[in-house]
Amino acid sequence: MGKNNIKNMDKLLSEFELFLKSNLPKAPSFHPFYEKALAKMLEAGGKRFRPMLLLCVVEAKNKMLVRNAMQVALGLEYLHTYSLIHDDLPAMDNATLRRGQATLHTTYDETSAILVGDGLNTEAFSLISKAALSNDTKIQLISSLSENGGINGMVLGQAIDCYFENKKLDLEQIKFLHIHKTAKLIACSLKMGAIIVSYDIKTQNEIYDFGLNLGLLFQIQDDILDITQSSEKAGKTTQNDTEKNSFVNLLGLVGAKKSASELAEKCILQVESFDEDLKNALKGLLNEYFFRHC
């Protein structure tokens, strides 16, 4: 990756981080910690994959719209953070560490974590509705995020993941699970960027399809990290997928790494089909964030 791409990526991430910290959720009341709890997991950091995917597409096509897209990227990060808070709950993964910090239900209590997740989920769409973009664009963005993050997207994947714990699925079923639980939101992040800069429908669909493969690659790498890294290094609870339908549990570590390499090659070929600016921007982002085991 060229030095200019690295600088651009770092600059974009710094701008988003500053915007996030300047726009943390506000809910003043006499509750002793509700407002603080709303902000805790957002402030904890994370790699910001999804908002960076969105902003990367916007910057590649129309740098003038990056500022207007920040609010949308923030809404996306709110929704993703809600999903992590709920994913960590005792009823789901019962995790104690997220983004290098104690999970929300262990810091406060389970009820508070559920309500904070609910609040961030709803507020995500409020943020997008207030972005400095046309109403038509905002409707498309809200539609895409609700479709991919909702009952036929991430929530469906989570439902399958939880119900079939301790029940072995085949490879196609595992792909279905993780396309919905993980890949759809990653694909949606890219598509939302494409919507903001008015890429034509054909290109939007191609970017989305690329995102689905990228999301599966991300999930396989995440499964690999779960058994190869400590919780301290990963910044979240690991060794936590022993009863789950992960790619490593089905394919073995060697098989999972082989599958990741094959998907990485497929992603690279798809990127090559995009216009020059988008291709260069995505290559930089992929090298920086995604190609960890390939």
Q: What is the pLDDT of residues 90-115, one digit of tens each?
A: 999 899 999 889 999 999 999 999 99
Cα 125 to Cα 245: distance, rounded to the nearest angstrom: 31
Residue 42 is predicted with a pLDDT of 97
Mean pLDDT, rounded, for 148-166: 95
Q: What is the CA radius of gyration of the chain?
A: 18
Give 5's pLDDT tier (boundaries 50, 70, 90).
low
Q: What is the pLDDT of residues 229-261, one digit of tens each?
A: 777 666 666 666 667 888 998 999 999 999 999
Domain 3-289 CATH superfamily = Farnesyl Diphosphate Synthase (1.10.600.10)
Give 1's pLDDT tier (boundaries 50, 70, 90).
very low
Residue 100 is predicted with a pLDDT of 87
| Spatial CA neighbour of 6 closest among 45, 50, 51, 56 | 56
Residue with tokens 């949606």: 188
Taking phi over 0 as left and psi of -120 to 50 as alpha, with beta for the rest, 29 belongs to: beta
For CA atoms 264, 266, 269, 270, the dihedral sign is negative
Mean pLDDT, rounded, for 261-265: 91
